[in-house]
Amino acid sequence: MEIAIVGSGCARCKQTAEVVRKAVEQAGVDATICKVEDIREIMKFRVLTTPAVAIDGEVKISGRVPTVEEITSLLTP
């Protein structure tokens, strides 16, 4: 599973990255977390507001910092 944190690297993007890291740890899933900060790459996700979280290329959350519980629910079946 690949999780992308999409955003310019602002404080909210950093918060989102930390939330995702905690959720992956709590869920015990095997996931690669990457940050997408290049504007050209951000545009490929068609995200209008950041931060955004994409799981396996599909944007799941956009425009706000999610909670650990939200991310965990997306990671577990």
Under 8 Å between Cβ of 15 and 67: no
**Residue 53: predicted pLDDT:** 98
Which band of pLDDT confidence, cut at 50, 70 and 90, is reported for residue 77?
confident
Q: Which of 3, 4, 6, 13 is catalytic?
A: 13
Q: Which of 1, 10, 29, 43 is catalytic?
A: 10
Q: How many CB atoms lie within 10 A of CB 60?
A: 15
Taking the C-alpha atoms of residue 30 and residue 75, their distance in angstroms, rounded to an integer, is 10
Total number of domains constituting the chain: 1
Catalytic site includes residue 10 = yes
Which band of pLDDT confidence, cut at 50, 70 and 90, is reported for residue 76?
confident
For 40-49, the CB contacts below 8 A with 24+ separation are 41/6, 42/6, 42/7, 42/8, 45/4, 45/6, 47/6
Per-residue pLDDT of 6-62, as tens digits, reads 999 899 999 999 999 999 999 999 999 999 999 999 999 999 999 999 999 999 999
CATH of the domain at 31: 3.40.30.10
- Per the structure, the complete domain to which residue 63 belongs is given by 2-75
pTM of the model: 0.92
Catalytic site includes residue 13 = yes
